[in-house]
Chains A and B, each alone.
Chain A
Amino acid sequence: MSAKVRVRHRLNVVLQMVMALVTAILLGQLWLFTISLEAMDNRAVSPKVAGAAAVCSLVACGSIWILIRFFLRMEQSQSGDLR
């Protein structure tokens, strides 16, 4: 197995881990979206809940972009290939 293939395999493993993490965060964001919808419709829910959901969603979105950039940079530095 050549060094390039080994790097490719390692990157695939890292990609899968990153994708699993990103998927989990996306599911969390979906849950936060449903919470904000519930807060909009139901007056028994405090408006602070909607605000907290928005802040958490912002943090989640930022972390997803950071993860993606981290992965792409790592891939570029190791293989010089963006595909």
Chain B
Amino acid sequence: MTTRWKRDFPIPSAEDSYVTRREFTNFLGLTSVAFLIGTLATAGRTLAKRLLGHDSPAVAVAGIEELPVGGYKLFRYQESDPGILLRLAEDKFAAFDQRCTHLSCPVIFNAAASRLECPCHAGYFSAEDGRPLAGPPKRALARLEVTTQNAQVWVRRTEEVRA
């Protein structure tokens, strides 16, 4: 039995929830546009970062005497990218991007084992050249160029330096 107020003020709920084909196809089209915008934005950022930021300026990370053998120092390069500088021997330094190539967790240095370790998923990398040793990562850490000048250790990213 229909109450009087429903007769006087009918609520067309069935009509309201009806989705036309045009609306549905427009929704799919807009979803596609959203994917396109996301892809263009990430691709644009990648290209700008790689092509315009080619051979970034060197960063003075630490004094040579400041870092003991087996020690490490964290730093930032290219404004915000995290890096890790290692002193493997008296005159041997190595620097890598600190982000694990698996899911970008920051890696930490284990001097005793001479390797970089990702605590998130137990990924291991060689401290010598950044190549993956064990765990989920399949790709080497991005290697950075290290030079010493005026008792300072300088690090910079170049496209050529790859593990």
Contacts and interface: CB of A to CB of B under 8 A. Distances in A.
A34 to B, nearest CB: 9
B121 interface: no
A83 B27 CA distance: 15
A83 B20 contact: yes
Contacts of A61: 32-33, 35-36
B28 A57 contact: no
Contacts, number: 97
A54 B29 contact: no
B156 to A, nearest CB: 14
Contact of A22 (B20, B28, B40, B49): B28
A43 B20 contact: no
**Sorted from nearest, which 5 A-B pairs have the closest CB atoms?**
A54-B43, A29-B35, A50-B43, A57-B39, A36-B42
24 contacts: A15-B21, A19-B28, A26-B28, A26-B32, A29-B32, A36-B42, A37-B42, A40-B45, A41-B99, A42-B139, A43-B50, A44-B101, A47-B50, A54-B40, A54-B43, A57-B36, A57-B39, A57-B40, A61-B32, A64-B32, A68-B25, A72-B25, A82-B20, A82-B22
